[in-house]
Chain A
Amino acid sequence: METINKISAGNVRLASRLIRDLEDKLPHAHARLKKLFPYTGKSFIIGITGSPGAGKSTLTDALIAELRKQDKTIGVLAVDPTSPFSGGAILGDRVRMLRHAEDEGVFIRSLATRGALGGLSQAVGDAIHVLEAMGKDVIIVETVGIGQQEIDIIHHAHSVIVVMVPGMGDEIQTMKAGILEIADVFAINKANRAGAKQLHTELSSLLNSTKLSPGAWRPPIVMIGNLYEPATFTEKTAELAQKVADHYAYLQESGQLGKRIERKAMMELNDALRTCIMEPVIANLTASGELQRIAEKTRNREIDPYSAAEEISKRFLKSGGEK
């Protein structure tokens, strides 16, 4: 219990260790998370996503600076990819956020994807809960560099920033489903480069052709120029922070926030059920050697995997029900 109290009082060492235990799926970790759960649910969660090198970490750094001017405490979860070959990872997002390293109001934690394909890591939901329990006002979740459809971030964030850069393709790209549909705020980064205006036009035309019900949120587009022209860069990143704050206000006033929180709760429950039901069944079948035997049977075409799974689910679900 002492650990729980210390984490909810903001202890960085213990919080970071718990996040690691959750990543590594240590048995005690979820027991701790259960106790922390009553402290969660009060933070504003911002997602930031976009292609590799678009400037997500740099914009996260700028957002931290803006939010710190308002004295908000901040947690950052920055996800980078795990090597499919070695299982190792280079987590390099912090490099862009060095100036906040000593600020006690900012806690930055890097996570590796460890095989997850949706742009985040499996532990990210749990890690968000730890930061919430620490009492962070705002949590920024930075995804890995993504392509067209890694959209898991919408299950975790209240507001999503999609960072785009010029020169990534023609207007057909902006017509496609996926990543562009999840933006609450668009940032066109490196807007000093050729093609930025055209990208703005294409995104505007996309938004113009999207049917919005009266009073609905229309994602604003913020053009952010050269990082090395600090005056204008800061002005534009302040605008980005303001648009995100506007979106949060809209979510609260329109009642949409409740819906997003409900969506998140449903996803968490789904995930927990899957973990709670699937993992023990697989562990049980693996330990008894049955999984291997069934795999051999399906390989020899003696049984199909669908019937095998049905039979297993009947057996396990029934024994659970009788208890």
Chain B
Amino acid sequence: MPERKIRVMVAKPGLDGHDRGARILARCFRDAGFEVIYTGCHQTPEQVAAAAIQEDVDLVGLSCLSGAHRVLFPRVVELLRQKDAADITVIGGGIIPEADFPMLYDAGIKAIFTPGATLDSIVEWIRTNVQPHQ
């Protein structure tokens, strides 16, 4: 039986349009053998959650460089919970002060990657912590 492919979604909620990082990550996930749904910039958390469910992803990677992560990231987790999709892992990255880590972890963000994190370390984290839905 062929093994289950990991499906991930890379999304940028909010108004920040700096998507270089998100695109590099999407490419890196592709090269790691994941199926990557790339949904681009300027999305509402509602759009992100709806798309994640329609695509049956195992993981949503949120990128935010504008400082709105304290509102946007927890909202995505909350919406997934409401839609009976709490099993989808949500991780975040971008310009995120360390002081905000605890509140994001409390809100259900499973990992946070900031500038300096290597691509390999992110892929490795996913391989270790994300089991494809069965």
Name A residues whose Cβ lies closer than 8 Å to a Cβ of B: 12-13, 16-17, 19-20, 23-27, 82-83, 85-92, 94-95, 98, 101-102, 107-110, 112
Contact = CB atoms under 8 A, between A and B. Distances in A.
Contacts of A17: 56, 133
B1 A26 contact: yes
Contacts of B43: 98, 101
B31 interface: yes
| Nearest 10 Cβ contacts at the A-B interface | A88-B30, A16-B56, A101-B47, A95-B40, A88-B33, A87-B33, A92-B38, A86-B33, A91-B37, A20-B56
A94 B32 CA distance: 21
20 contacts: A13-B53, A16-B54, A19-B56, A24-B5, A26-B1, A85-B31, A87-B5, A88-B33, A88-B34, A90-B30, A90-B36, A92-B37, A94-B39, A94-B51, A94-B55, A95-B39, A101-B51, A102-B44, A102-B46, A102-B50
Interface of B: 1-5, 7, 26-27, 29-40, 42-44, 46-47, 50-51, 53-56, 83-85, 133
B133 A89 contact: no
A43 B64 CA distance: 40
A109 B30 contact: no
Contacts of A89: 30, 35-36
Given A91-B36, A91-B38, A112-B35, A83 B4 contact: no
Contacts of B53: 12-13, 16
B131 to A, nearest CB: 14
